[in-house]
Amino acid sequence: MIAEHLERFRKAAIAKADAVARGTAGRDAELFAEMRSALQSLVGLGPSGIAAFRASLHDPAPEVALWVAGQLLAEGDSVALKVLQSLSQLSGFTGLSAAVTLREHHAGRLAPPFGFRVL
């Protein structure tokens, strides 16, 4: 179950980033809803689901790590801060998004992007 929910989250995050990069963000809301649903499912599985989500901070796809880090940083996770600092050095949309997330965090305005707490 955990692997299925992680894969749903991962596929949606990557598809969302691809759509934005191509300028075809028409499915943006649908993909975000899929990510949110997958995260809710992971949280519903308890500590093992949450641990699996946290492990996705180190996903090889930076688009996935970006979303995970944004959620966890909004909840005070110090590892997420380091991941976002690293991602902010990337070129393109992912690097820019990471930099904006860090700016919002440092300004005290970062809220959990999925609208609920995980930790």
Model confidence over 89-117: pLDDT tens digits? 999 989 999 999 999 999 999 999 999 99
How many domains would you assign to the chain?
1
* pTM for this prediction: 0.95
| 78 vs 23, higher pLDDT | 78
Q: Is residue 10 part of a domain?
A: yes
- CB contact at 8 A, 58 and 32: no
| Coil vs helix vs strand at 85 | helix
Q: Is residue 9 part of a domain?
A: yes
Q: Is residue 111 part of a domain?
A: no
Q: Is residue 46 part of a domain?
A: yes
27 is in which domain, residue-wise? 2-106
CATH number, domain containing residue 18: 1.25.40
Model confidence over 4-55: pLDDT tens digits? 999 999 999 999 998 888 877 678 889 999 999 999 999 999 999 999 999 9
Q: Is residue 117 part of a domain?
A: no
